[in-house]
Amino acid sequence: ETSASDDNTACLSPREKALVGQPLAIAQAVMPTGTRFIPPGGVVTMDYRQDRHNADYDANKVVTRVWCG
């Protein structure tokens, strides 16, 4: 069973996986339409969708995690 808390990256391309540590603006240009860009402390639904792209970023607008779900 897969949960939303798993670090799932199966839906991501190698280019998308390489966005960790990059500026948010670059991730926004690379990730597909519909990607959730989640700020620090951001609230999102936790329903799992294996094809949904997500990117967490920090206060400096640097991507800290990319994941599917």
17/46: higher pLDDT? 17
Q: Are the beta carbons of 9 and 67 closer than 8 angstroms?
A: yes
- Gap between the Cα atoms of 58 and 38, Å rounded: 9
Distance CA(15)–CA(66), nearest Å, equals 11
32 or 51, greater pLDDT: 32
Q: Over range 14-31, report the average pLDDT.
A: 97
**33 closest CA partner among 52, 47, 49, 18:** 52
Q: Is the pLDDT reported for residue 65 higher than 50? A: yes
DSSP state of 32: P
The predicted structure's pLDDT at residue 49: 85
pLDDT at 7: 58
pLDDT exceeds 60 at position 59: yes
The pLDDT of residue 48 = 85
> How many Å apart are CA 34 and CA 36, to the nearest integer?
6
